[in-house]
Amino acid sequence: MLTYLFEYLEKQYQLPGASLFQFSTFRAGMAILFSLIIATAYGKRIILFLQKQQVGETIRDLGLEGQKQKAGTPTMGGIIIILATLIPVLLLARLENIYIILLIFTTLWMGVIGFIDDYIKVFKKNKEGLKGRFKVMGQVVLGLR
């Protein structure tokens, strides 16, 4: 989206520096920085929110040392990765590119599968989560599309 905005500003007002957005290397560098900022700035907040909501996996007692430390570790941390990936892509990529559309669709599709898996583990209290055959079936359906 920012690419289109700065293209418009360059054409209409000859804004200094706006032409930088036409270079994919500049946009890639900006995407890396945005992703890093999003993950570090909001990652801790998301983890604290998930801990506050008690969205964590229960740990089986196997008698292993250090096992109790993992208790209460929030699941659904993939939200951080998805946000840190998709927000810079939506801001800086050319959205008419078929590879960008595939990236967005694939990320959301796999994110939904991961969310369903975590939802079953946490809220339905089923330690197994989504059965493996459904995960694989979801991936195959995505691959066939």
Q: Which tokens in the block code for residue 39?
A: 């993950």
Q: What pLDDT does residue 64 have?
A: 67
- pTM as predicted: 0.81
For residue 56, the model assigns a pLDDT of 65
Give the whole-angstrom CA distance, residue 45 versus residue 80.
Answer: 10
Residue-level pLDDT at 42: 92
Q: What is the pLDDT of residue 125?
A: 77
Residues 6+ apart with CB under 8 A from 61: 67
Question: What is the reported pLDDT for 18?
Answer: 86
Q: Which residues pair with 56 in a beta bridge?
A: 74
**Given this model, what pLDDT does residue 108 score?**
96
pLDDT of 123: 80
**pLDDT at site 61:** 62
What is the distance in angstroms between the CA of the first residue and the CA of the last residue of the chain? Answer: 26
- Please tell me whether residue 58 adopts helix, strand or coil conformation: coil
Structure tokens at 12: 């209409």
Q: Is residue 1 a contact partner of residue 90, using CB atoms and an 8 Å limit?
A: yes
Q: What six digits make up the tokens of 84?
A: 């840190």
Give the chain's residues under pLDDT 70.
Answer: 56-73
Q: What tokens does 61 get?
A: 């007692």
pLDDT for the residue 66: 64
So what's the pLDDT on residue 107? 96
Closest CA to 75 of 98, 100, 50: 50
pLDDT score recorded for residue 72: 62
What is the pLDDT, as a whole number, of residue 127? 76
